[in-house]
Amino acid sequence: MQQKIVIRVQMKCDKCRSKAMQLVAAADGVDSVAIEGEYKDHLAVVGDGVDAANVTTLLRKKVGCATIVKVEEVKKVDKEKKPDTTAQNIVHWYPNYPPCRQMVCYDYECSSSDPTACSIL
């Protein structure tokens, strides 16, 4: 059973990081070791039958403060499964708004030359 163990270790410099990686890589059952986290303070250990408590104790003795953050089972991904390559028809739908009405303006001129005349009539 493959498992992934994430251990938070107090590592301030690159020398401490390489020392911690060497210690963990030498443990029984370890397949891979990687540095993770925003501050590069998490060690991700992947392996089969790795004892998380022993690895953490070893890191505490040799490097500094170490705590177990997460232990989870690694699931293998089947590479033989291929995604469906059939093309799906995609229907694009656009909202159908009514067209804008055009405004028609008529200009009426007063044809009377008398300024006192009523323009309504």
pLDDT digits 0-9 by tens, 59-108? 999 999 999 999 999 887 666 766 666 777 777 777 777 777 888 887 76
Report CA-CA distances (Å) from 97 to 28, 90, 100. Answer: 69, 22, 9
Position 8 confidence tier, pLDDT thresholds 50, 70, 90: very high
Stated pTM of the model: 0.62
Q: What is the pLDDT of residue 116?
A: 75
Helices (H), the chain: 14-25, 52-62
Q: Phi, psi at residue 3, to the nearest 5°?
A: -140, 150
Structural domains of the chain in order of their starting residue, each with its CATH number: 2-73 (3.30.70.100)
Position 13 confidence tier, pLDDT thresholds 50, 70, 90: very high
